Chains A and B, each alone.
Chain A
Amino acid sequence: MIAAPETTAWYVYGVVDASAKIGADQLRLIGEGPLAAVVSEVPLSEFGEEELAQRLNDRAWLEEHARAHEDVLQRLAAVAAVVPFRFGAIYRELDDVSVLLRERRGELSAALERVRGRIELGVKAWADRDRFEAALGDALPEPSSGRAYLERRRTEHERAGRVGAQLGDIARDAHARLLRHAVEGVANRPHPRELTGRDEAMILNGAYLVADGDEALAGEAAALDAEHGARGIAFEVTGPWPPHNFVEPRDEV
């Protein structure tokens, strides 16, 4: 007798305590020792190796499923400590999910303890460069000759570097201040305008791990916003996020 070909696989979102109560119809908890993986059954017609390679280049599909992955983690994080997995952890057999939990128990348990009772907040700083430069107050005179034009170009260039350095200092100081109100924090690369679609330049893209219910970091971001707002720099808090930024093993160096 030939076994029916498998048509589904198991998509793993992340790991919670084996004792976690998540009561969700479409999600299953696969327990192994103290840990449980949160999985759902997915069709191989979409999540098979070849199919996936194509779907991932379908912008709408990628957005829908990246958001779905995030949405599940958000909902889990609201009721339990959760270690988010990166998108695309897929197994054909549930047994292999158990093997994963067994083999990486140390790492996963450590990550779970690291984020327990904590949430991730994002803080971004946006610079309106024109307003910032205007606030600096050193307006340049209109050039009256070719030579003056060249001089002005040079001055503009120098000033651009100076402005950039000042924006960098503001972002660096802001990150240092925010870190004082966080358990951990990381400054990720700011997104370029092509991604943000905004006129302002992102100069800080920070992620911070804070105790759930601790308002201090958001308060500090609001204070920074108030301090720098008149100069065209706005601070924005996003989240709470599942702790994506704080589950990978810390760098050795």
Chain B
Amino acid sequence: MSRSDLTAGGGLPPARPSQPAQLADVLERVLDKGIVIAGDIKIDLLDIELLTVRLRLLVASADKAKEMGIDWWEGDPFLSRDGRDNRALERRLRRLESAAGLGEDEE
């Protein structure tokens, strides 16, 4: 039996009616936003090949946009508080540190 308990709760009202959300919108929010909690099952979303491809696409869009001249949200601290690159680098650094036995294994 394939049991998937990560399901909608029984007694809650149904999600507000709207057209089914685009997967990219859901993944962007669910995998890249929200409060980051390091539970005790280690999960590194950056290690997801599929996600890495998707994130790469998201990042690649910046270059593409630059080509098109619509990179307006880049480098504008008022408009963009996008710390994605820094966060990704930080996570990578943390992983390397812990692999090298440096730093504390924290969230």
Do the beta carbons of A72 and B60 come within 8 Å of each other? no
Query: Which residue of B6, B11, B13, B79 has the most chain A CB atoms within 10 A of its CB atom?
Result: B6
A57, A163, A172, A250: the one contacting B69 at CB < 8 Å is: A163
Q: B100 within 8 Å of A by Cβ?
A: no
> If A26-B7, A64-B4 touch, does A251 touch B83 (CB 8 Å cutoff)?
yes
With an 8 Å Cβ cutoff, the count of chain B residues facing the other chain is 67
Q: A35 within 8 Å of B by Cβ?
A: no
Q: A117 within 8 Å of B by Cβ?
A: no
> If A62-B48, A192-B61, A240-B16 touch, does A26 touch B82 (CB 8 Å cutoff)?
no
Report which B residues bind A (CB closer than 8 A). Answer: 3-16, 18, 21-43, 45, 47-51, 54, 57-62, 64-65, 68-73, 76-77, 79-84
Which 5 pairs between the two chains have the least Cβ-Cβ distance? A164-B69, A24-B9, A25-B10, A89-B37, A168-B72
Report which A residues bind B (CB closer than 8 A). Answer: 9, 11-12, 14-15, 22-27, 40-43, 46-49, 52-53, 56-57, 59, 62-72, 74-76, 78-79, 83-93, 96, 100, 107-108, 111, 122, 160-165, 167-169, 171-172, 175, 186-192, 194-196, 201, 203, 238-242, 244-245, 247-248, 250-251, 253
